[in-house]
């Protein structure tokens, strides 16, 4: 079974995936697989341009977890969408030395549910679990994800609403 772990940059994907790997799970970090699919650089947005369609078509499924910002585009059996309150997300991205424009872009994407919406468009709702990482450590999040994959926690999404962040920051 392949489980995607997706979310806006800064929501905890890599940290939680590393915890799952420490627990013995197979984990593939998307950043380690996209190199051959990079077609350029969008300097204004400070991101690589990736031929996502080709990457998805050529990706070899794994029995384990696939972690990355667009893991939800893969044919996963389950998908976990990590969420984080935008003010905490901004603080995390500031620690990473993101530029102000990039922080704003990501916090707005989080407040608008961008990754969740894309996931819902790609996957059966009964295969999606939304997890708020705000103030949570990797062990707690990994416990919840393992329980979801084992079927002990049902699919669940749509209960997180960061729209008030947009109202306060626009």
Q: Does 12 show up as a binding residue in the annotation?
A: yes
- Is the overall model pTM greater than 0.75, yes or no? yes
Q: How far apart are CA 24 and CA 27, in angstroms?
A: 9
For the domain spanning 2-169, the CATH number is 3.40.50.300
Do the beta carbons of residue 107 and residue 89 sit within 8 Å? yes
Own/partner pairs, 148-153, CB within 8 angstroms, 24+ separation: 148/78, 148/80, 149/1, 149/3, 149/78, 153/129
- pLDDT of 44 reads 76
In whole angstroms, what is the distance from residue 15 CA to residue 6 CA? 12
**pLDDT per position as a tens digit, 82-114:** 999 999 999 999 999 999 989 999 999 999 999
Confirm or deny that 96 is annotated as ligand binding. yes
Query: In the prediction, which pLDDT does 92 show?
Result: 95
- Which tokens belong to 59? 């990706």
Residue 48 has a pLDDT of: 81
What percentage of the chain exceeds 90 in pLDDT?
84
Alpha carbons 80 and 147: distance in angstroms, whole number:
12
Going by the DSSP 8-state scheme, the letter that residue 137 receives in this structure is: -
Task: Give tens-digit pLDDT for 5-25.
Answer: 999 999 999 999 999 999 999
Counting residues of the chain whose pLDDT is more than 70, the rounded percentage is 99
Q: What is the model's pLDDT at position 163? A: 85
Task: State yes or no: pLDDT of 170 exceeds 90.
Answer: no
Residue-averaged pLDDT of the chain? 93
């Amino acid at each position: 079974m392949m489980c995607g772990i997706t979310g806006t940059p800064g929501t905890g994907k890599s940290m939680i995936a590393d915890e799952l790997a420490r627990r013995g799970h197979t984990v593939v970090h998307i950043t380690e697989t996209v190199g051959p699919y990079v077609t350029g650089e969008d300097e204004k947005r400070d991101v690589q341009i990736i031929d996502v369609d080709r990457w998805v078509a050529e990706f070899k499924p794994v029995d384990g977890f696939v972690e990355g910002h667009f893991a939800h585009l893969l044919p996963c059996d389950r998908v976990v969408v990590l969420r984080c309150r935008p003010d905490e997300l901004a603080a995390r991205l500031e620690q990473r030395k993101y530029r102000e424009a990039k922080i704003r872009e990501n916090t707005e994407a989080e407040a608008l549910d961008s990754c969740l919406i894309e996931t819902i468009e790609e996957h059966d709702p009964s295969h999606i679990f939304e997890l708020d990482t705000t103030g949570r450590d990797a062990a707690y999040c990994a416990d919840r994800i393992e329980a979801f994959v084992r079927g002990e926690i049902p699919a669940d999404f749509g209960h997180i609403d960061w729209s008030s962040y947009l109202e306060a920051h626009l």
